[in-house]
Chains A and B, each alone.
Chain A
Amino acid sequence: MHITDEIIIAGFGGQGVLSMGKILAYAAMFENKETSWMPSYGPEMRGGTANCITIISEKKISSPVVSKFDSAIILNQPSLNKFEDHVKEHGFLFYEASTIINPPTREDIMIYKIAAIEEANKMGQKQISNMIMLGAFLEIKPLVKRESVLSALKKVLPERHHHLIAVNEQALLRGKELIEINYHVSV
């Protein structure tokens, strides 16, 4: 694993883009790693496109702003169009199956198509699609442990939603299973 992982997460506002980045950052902090979370802020937060850069590192982070990413988690078509070229060579790109009609075409990176929204709907909780995506991502890139992610959820979710932590954990597991089923990763 790289000593530093620079991750872009992008999609529509309301897809849980900023929360996913925050959860990764909190989880990294719980593991005493260095981390930074840089959101795109402004009107995007109120329904348009949103993105955030989360960096997790074993050493002090110089720039929290980067334009090339080790990993990209992409939840809509405009974000894919914008960020596909910004994934580093041999980097990783995860994308949402149902919202992206024109899939990524690069051949020098690893690409994972995740049907997170469809799975979330099957589970009857469409808000948890981001956690399914995160589960899939962490299965390929185990940057932080699942326990840390669960602790992070407690920080990111408002207290009135803490009863949803169990279903979020199921979503993480479902994401992991999607990788196992579709990409034959042995654990």
Chain B
Amino acid sequence: MKMQKSEVRLMKGNEALAEAAIRAGLDAYFGYPITPQSEILEYFTEQIPKRHGVVLQAESEVASINMVYGAAGAGARVMTSSSSPGMSLMQEGISYIAAAELPCLLVNVVRGGPGLGTIQPSQGDYFQAVKGGGHGDYRLIVLAPSSVQEMCDFVFDAFKLAEKYRNPAMILTDGALGQMMEKVEFPEEGSLPHQVPDWATTGKKGRERNFITSLHMEPEKMEEINLHLQKKYKVIEENEVRFETFEIDDAEIVLVAFGLPARICQKAVELAREKGIKAGLVRPITLFPFPKKILSDLSKKIDHFLVIELNAGQMVEDVMLAANGKCPVHFKGRMGGMIIQPEEVLEEIEKIIQQPILQE
């Protein structure tokens, strides 16, 4: 269902995300300053007192994520945001939230790492976001926007998915998307109704008591919880995969990239096509669930995959699993906050297609 859009504004990605959250009926935001996502906290502290909801600057990311746990457990529509080092601090709490099946939105505006790293854009937290991140077997639903418009739209999608599956959802974006400005159209406020779920701890009124926990001392019970979670993740994988393709019909080499680099790759495909190279692009929108099928199907008819990431090669492993040896999977990445340029991608494409293909 397409939502009614109201007005067009020029906004930074971080601010668009925050405005979208307010319009999505956010009940509470808890967060801590860290570059390059502090605009989110700043926007909320400026807007929420004039509109609706709760905003609180916590004493740390550790406190923030546990406030999210409390508020989500109390049935509120709640979120936090941070950037890489802060997200690392939150991992314990995220594991608890996933185990207790509390819906909430987490936003990671990724910066270059490891360590204190840099404040420039990166995709170095892919593994952390899609493979769990904290302790134990759990998954987040991970959405990767590639425009300021999607920084807005995916807030709505993420809340819907989180509440549908009682699972934390993450928007995995980067410093550049957070800081850049583009046109954005916002949905009307109130277009995403929210009911307090019946499992929430709102006071034991006219029902048995509710409790939120992730502790089950009996291994049989804990295995049962795990099986339940895995079953849920399977359902998510079957129903919620999202991706975008560009010029793949006759493509011989297909780029795979998510987030901002996907747009850089789209430009590279345009440049390649101008030179007569049959290039295409697959852009995973959901990183978990990962679009395995389209990549698996393509692997049987194309000559090469080229994965472009702003890291040392993380999603490339998932592309390899999907290709399963059916076609070569190449990788080019930039790290430490460096952004890859369209011309650099084109160069890589040309290098690959000039190599002789080894017949089996």
Contacts and interface: CB of A to CB of B under 8 A. Distances in A.
- Tell me, yes or no, whether A and B come into direct contact in the complex with CB atoms closer than 8 A: yes
Interface of A: 22, 25-26, 29, 34-39, 41-42, 61-68, 155
A68 B346 CA distance: 14
- Select the residue from B181, B263, B339 with max chain A CB neighbours within 10 A: B181
Contacts of B4: none
B263 A39 contact: no
Contacts of A67: 341-343
A62 B181 contact: no
Contacts of A62: 263-264, 266-267, 270
A22 B342 CA distance: 23
Interface residues of B, number: 23
Contacts of B181: 22, 25, 36-37
B182 interface: yes
Given A41-B175, A42-B35, A64 B341 contact: no
B120 interface: yes
Given A25-B181, A36-B182, A41-B179, A155 B341 contact: no
B54 interface: no
Contacts of A61: 182, 263
- Select the residue from A25, A38, A61, A64 with max chain B CB neighbours within 10 A: A64
Contact of A64 (B10, B180, B270): B180
Contacts of A29: 8, 10, 183
- Select the residue from A36, A62, A68 with max chain B CB neighbours within 10 A: A62
A35 B341 contact: no
Contact of B176 (A34, A65, A66, A155): A65
A35 B10 CA distance: 9
Contacts of A68: 343
B267 A155 contact: no
B273 to A, nearest CB: 12
A39 B35 CA distance: 14
A64 B342 contact: no
Nearest to B111: A42
Interface in B135-182: 175-176, 179-182
A38 B343 contact: no
B119 interface: yes
B85 interface: no
A66 B342 contact: yes
A155 B119 CA distance: 27
Given A29-B183, A61-B263, A66-B341, 5 more contacts: A38-B176, A62-B266, A63-B264, A64-B180, A68-B343
Contact of A66 (B10, B260, B267): B267
B277 to A, nearest CB: 16
B56 to A, nearest CB: 26
Nearest to B263: A63
Nearest to B269: A62
A63 B175 CA distance: 15
B342 A63 contact: yes
B93 to A, nearest CB: 28
B164 to A, nearest CB: 31
Contact of B36 (A37, A41, A66, A155): A41
- Select the residue from A25, A42, A63 with max chain B CB neighbours within 10 A: A63
